[in-house]
Structure 1
Amino acid sequence: MDVSSFVLLSHEQALRRQLDIVANNMANSSTVGFKREQALFHEYVETAQEAPVEDARKTSFVLDFGTVHDTAQGSFQATGNPLDVMIDGAGYLNVENPDGGVAYTRAGYIKVSENGELVTSGGQRLLDENGRPIAIPADQLSRITIAEDGTVMAGDAPVGRLAVTDFGNESLVDPRGDGLLTGTGGQFLTAARTRLKTGGVEASNVEPIVETTHMVEILRSYQTSQRLSADLADMRKNAIGRLSRVG
Structure 2
Amino acid sequence: MQTPSYIALSRQTALWRQMDVVANNIANMNTPGFKGESLMFSEYRTPSRGTDSAFADMLSYTYDFGSHRDVALGPMEQTGNPLDLAINGPGYFEVETDFGRFYTRNGRFMLDADGMVVTGQGHPVLSTNGTPFFVAPNERDIVIARDGTVSTENGAIGQLNIVSFEDEQALLRVQAGLYDAGEQDPQAAEGLAIEQGMLEGSNVEPTREITRLIDTQRAYEAVQKLIEDESDRQQRAIKALTGADQV
The alignment's TM-score, normalised by the length of structure 1, stands at 0.87
CA drift of 1:57 comes to: 4.3
Residue 124 of structure 1 is matched in structure 2 by: 123
Q: Is 1:67–2:67 an aligned residue pair? A: yes
CA drift of 1:229 comes to: 2.0
Closer, same or farther: CA 205–61 of 1 in aligned 2, 3 Å: same
Aligned partners of 1:91 and 1:164 also within 8 Å: yes
Which of 152, 158, 161 in structure 1 is aligned with 2:159? 161
CA drift of 1:137 comes to: 4.5
CA drift of 1:53 comes to: 6.4
CA drift of 1:198 comes to: 1.1
Percentage identity across paired residues of the two chains: 36
Closer, same or farther: CA 7–118 of 1 in aligned 2, 3 Å: same
Residue 205 of structure 1 is matched in structure 2 by: 203
CA distance in 1, matches of 2:58, 2:10: 15
CA drift of 1:236 comes to: 3.1
Which of 189, 193, 196 in structure 1 is aligned with 2:194? 196
Residue 22 of structure 2 is matched in structure 1 by: 22
CA drift of 1:14 comes to: 0.4
Residue 46 of structure 1 is matched in structure 2 by: 46
Q: Secondary structure at the match of 1:39?
A: strand
Closer, same or farther: CA 117–188 of 1 in aligned 2, 3 Å: farther
Aligned partners of 1:68 and 1:170 also within 8 Å: no
CA RMSD of aligned residues (A): 2.3
The letter of the residue matching 1:84 is: D
Aligned partners of 1:165 and 1:186 also within 8 Å: no
Residue 111 of structure 2 is matched in structure 1 by: 112
Aligned partners of 1:137 and 1:154 also within 8 Å: no
Aligned partners of 1:85 and 1:201 also within 8 Å: yes
The letter of the residue matching 1:164 is: I
The letter of the residue matching 2:157 is: V
CA drift of 1:215 comes to: 0.9
Aligned partners of 2:90 and 2:191 also within 8 Å: no
CA distance in 2, matches of 1:149, 1:193: 10
Deviations 1:193-223 (A, max 9, x none): 3311111111111222111100111111112
Q: What stretches of structure 2 of length at least 5 have no aligned partner?
A: none
CA distance in 2, matches of 1:50, 1:17: 32
Closer, same or farther: CA 56–127 of 1 in aligned 2, 3 Å: same
The letter of the residue matching 1:36 is: G
Q: What stretches of structure 1 of length at least 5 have no aligned partner?
A: none
Aligned partners of 2:89 and 2:191 also within 8 Å: no
CA drift of 1:85 comes to: 0.8
Aligned partners of 1:38 and 1:69 also within 8 Å: yes
Structure 1 residues 1-247: aligned runs within 5 Å: 1-48=1-48, 50-51=50-51, 56-97=56-97, 99-139=98-138, 141-155=139-153, 157-184=155-182, 185-190=184-189, 193-244=191-242
- Aligned pair count? 242
CA drift of 1:54 comes to: 5.3
Q: Bigger CA drift: 233-242 or 56-65?
A: 233-242
Deviations 1:45-77 (A, max 9, x none): 333563286554432222232322111211111
The alignment's TM-score, normalised by the length of structure 2, stands at 0.87
Aligned partners of 1:91 and 1:165 also within 8 Å: yes
Q: Bigger CA drift: 234-243 or 35-44?
A: 234-243
CA distance in 2, matches of 1:69, 1:111: 28
CA drift of 1:182 comes to: 1.1
The letter of the residue matching 1:102 is: R
